[in-house]
């Protein structure tokens, strides 16, 4: 009797899973606050070099004064003649007038990190990125060594400590160090909780539970964080808001338990049984002791078979030793790069569209809800492969159209239309990203799932460093970033065809299972098409 059969008897969608999903939702709120904090605290509003005669003027009047000067933010004025500024020679600007968004004080406006210090926020972002790579690898490895739950707690607290420490900095070295610490848990807390929930839900419940919870709670966090920052009015206080709720994860061990599937891969059978008994008790299910005895017997016999064959413990590198697993792994790594880079560029490109970046990010974040519903309605019908392929292809079409509109429309006169197109672009990218997470987690065997998902994720994070360069392509031709991302998404859609379908299949538990998984399946196998063919045959018969 394997794990899925015993979990079915203990309850694979009962009160325990409801609590687990609510905690997953709470983790998503923490993740969204943490994710957007890097952008919020370093937001640089429109600004001009200060002059005594400029105080009291509004933004339009300031733009008029600097209309004949190419670099108004860093050019010191010698005088103002007939409402037009006259630039001073060999004089550096030391003070600025900022057009703050609803009075919001960011680190760039407080510490005046502009002009010759404009690279300071970028340095902090670089260290944040370095921390993300190291943290994802480290906590992913720990999740397969010491467990999903302790790794989740450490990652979340580590990121919160970094955010809290950042709120007290006043110099670049301390800012870089604290952002590195914060970056260690960038998305780690999210995907570790995702794996934990994934391994306690039945296959039929995963699509609903994981995607709806993600859509509701992550959307809530993304939509409210810009308004929370504006309401608080200060980047330091916002970081307190983003970090202190993370202490709530300390109660997780009191409500849920470690992944029983992971305990089985570590041959901790008694602890796995204890977790399953706790699940059964929480769900109000009575399971006979003989069921657990048979369960342990099944895995002990399986362990003996593996020992006789002389197989070694599964590792991430072992995924490259056999041809099919090697192809799956390389494909998943490349798809992670494509999807993460696409999402990052689409989510970051919020300026110069005729709307406040704060408001545009908040309003377009609502697409997480319909994206989650779309996955819920379609993924169990057309399959994981079909969903991933279609999302990337349609997302590529939307992104191309958005780029062309940005190139040929005046942002100030078409702000609403551009906002709608940005929202549609985020909609396609969100579906691609969410569908990819579940798809990859199902293809990867249980024995290496934590480490493999983290390594695939970290390769995607590494590609995020290219996002700024992709956006910079607009300097040469405005729609070029969108066209570049569209081409990547079309290529990613084609890659999906090389992966196996996982819908309604027993997922691999070890690398040997993974090598034989869907071994006779063709590239163009889609469950929805197979059902139609069966219906046609039955009808003709």
Please state which CATH number belongs to domain 1-42+118-311: 1.20.1250.20
pLDDT of residue 161: 93
In 3D space, the residue among 213, 182, 195 whose CA is nearest the CA of residue 140 turns out to be 195
pLDDT band at 194 (very low <50, low <70, confident <90, very high): confident
User: Matching CATH topology for 1-42+118-311 and 313-535?
Assistant: yes
Parallel, antiparallel, or unpaired for β 84-87 and 96-98?
Answer: unpaired
Task: Give the whole-angstrom CA distance, residue 181 versus residue 170.
Answer: 16
Q: Report the alpha-carbon distance of residue 458 to residue 420 in Å, rounded.
A: 31
- 313-535 belongs to CATH 1.10.540.10: no
* Average of per-residue pLDDT across 266-281: 89
Can you state the angle between helices 203-213 and 368-408, rounded to 10 degrees? Answer: 60
pTM comes to 0.73
Residue 174: CA count within 13 A, CB half-sphere: 9
Helix, coil or strand: residue 355: coil
pLDDT of 541 strictly over 50: no
- Domain-wise residue ranges, the chain: 1-42+118-311, 47-99, 313-535
15-24, 55-64, 264-273, 426-435: range with lowest mean pLDDT: 55-64
80: phi then psi, degrees, rounded to nearest 5: -120, 120
Mean pLDDT, rounded, for 459-486:
77
Report residue 535's pLDDT band, with 50, 70 and 90 as the boundaries.
Answer: low
């Amino acid at each position: 009797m394997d794990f899925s059969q015993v979990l079915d008897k203990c309850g694979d969608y009962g009160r325990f899973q409801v609590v687990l999903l609510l905690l997953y939702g709470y983790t998503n709120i923490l993740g969204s606050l943490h994710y957007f904090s890097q952008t919020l605290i370093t937001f640089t509003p429109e600004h001009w070099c200060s002059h005594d005669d400029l105080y009291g003027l509004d933004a339009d009047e300031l733009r008029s004064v600097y209309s004949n000067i190419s670099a108004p933010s860093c050019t010191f004025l010698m005088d103002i003649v007939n409402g037009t500024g006259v630039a001073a020679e060999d004089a550096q600007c030391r003070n600025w007038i900022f057009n703050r968004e609803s009075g919001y004080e960011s680190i760039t406006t407080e510490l005046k990190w502009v002009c010759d210090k404009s690279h300071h926020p970028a340095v902090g972002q670089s260290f944040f990125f370095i921390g993300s790579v190291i943290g994802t690898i480290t906590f992913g490895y720990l999740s397969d060594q010491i467990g999903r739950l302790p790794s989740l707690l450490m990652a979340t607290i580590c990121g919160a400590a970094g955010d809290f420490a950042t709120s007290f900095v006043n110099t670049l070295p301390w800012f870089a160090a604290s952002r590195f610490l914060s970056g260690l848990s960038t998305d780690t807390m999210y995907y570790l909780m995702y794996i934990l929930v994934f391994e306690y839900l039945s296959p039929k419940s995963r699509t609903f539970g994981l995607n709806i919870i993600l859509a509701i709670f992550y959307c809530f966090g993304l939509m409210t964080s810009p308004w929370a920052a504006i309401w608080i009015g200060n980047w330091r206080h916002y970081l307190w808001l983003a970090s202190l709720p993370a202490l709530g994860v300390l109660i997780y061990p009191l409500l849920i338990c470690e992944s029983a599937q992971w305990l089985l891969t570590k041959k901790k059978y008694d602890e796995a049984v204890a977790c399953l008994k706790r699940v059964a008790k929480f769900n109000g299910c009575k399971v006979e002791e003989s069921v657990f005895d048979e369960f342990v017997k099944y895995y002990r016999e399986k362990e003996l078979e593996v020992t006789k064959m002389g197989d070694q413990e599964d590792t991430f590198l072992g995924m490259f030793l056999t041809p099919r697993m090697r192809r799956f792994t390389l494909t998943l790594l490349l798809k992670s790069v494509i999807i993460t880079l696409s999402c990052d560029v689409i989510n970051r490109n919020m300026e110069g569209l005729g709307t406040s970046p704060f408001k545009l990010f908040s309003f377009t974040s609502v697409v997480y809800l319909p994206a989650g519903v779309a996955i819920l309605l379609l993924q169990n019908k057309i399959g994981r492969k079909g969903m991933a392929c279609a999302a990337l292809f349609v997302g590529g079409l939307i992104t191309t159209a958005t780029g062309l509109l940005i190139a040929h429309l005046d942002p100030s006169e078409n702000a609403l239309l551009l906002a709608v197109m940005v929202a549609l672009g985020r909609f396609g990218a969100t579906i691609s990203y969410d569908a990819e997470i579940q798809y990859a987690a199902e293809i990867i065997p249980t024995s290496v799932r934590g480490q493999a998902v983290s390594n695939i994720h970290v390769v995607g994070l590494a590609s995020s460093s290219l996002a700024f360069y992709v956006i910079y392509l607009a300097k040469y031709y405005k729609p070029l970033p969108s066209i570049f991302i569209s081409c990547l998404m079309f290529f990613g859609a084609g890659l999906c065809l090389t992966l196996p379908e996982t819908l309604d299949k027993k997922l691999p538990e070890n690398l040997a299972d993974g090598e034989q998984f869907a071994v006779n399946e063709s590239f163009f196998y889609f469950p929805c098409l197979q059902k139609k063919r069966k219906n046609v045959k039955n009808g003709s018969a």
